[in-house]
Amino acid sequence: MGYSKQPGFLRGQHLTTYIQDVKNLKKSGNLAEAEKLLFELADATEEECRIEKVGVALWYYEELAKVYRKMKEYKKEVDILERFAKQ
């Protein structure tokens, strides 16, 4: 892809630039794509946390938990919230 890998970045953009994308995917009912993107963003915030020594951003985990709830994937909902709690 040619993107330089910086903490908190995904595909060359900071993770915060994807918030509207996530909202649009959820609003359009494209939960599978929202799940995929949010999972990548959770990975990005964890990487940023490890390298920059800052806390992870809760929003991505919460939104992913909401997606799982809408998909009736309750175990995944709990798992992602537990993953956040371990940070």
Those residues whose C-beta lies under 8 Å from the C-beta of residue 8, and which sit 6 or more positions away, are 14, 15, 44, 45, 47, 48, 52
23-70 residue pLDDT tens: 999 999 999 999 999 999 999 999 999 998 888 999 999 999 999 999
In this prediction the pTM is 0.89
* Token digits of residue 21: 């994308």
72-81 residue pLDDT tens: 999 999 999 9
> Is 50 exceeded by the pLDDT of residue 2?
no
> Is 80 exceeded by the pLDDT of residue 4?
no
Residue 30 or 2, more confident: 30
Residue 5 or 71, more confident: 71
Q: DSSP string of the chain?
A: ------TTEETTEEGGGGHHHHHHHHHTT-HHHHHHHHHHHHHHHHHHHHHH-----HHHHHHHHHHHHHTT-HHHHHHHHHHHHT-
Q: What is the pLDDT of residue 6?
A: 86
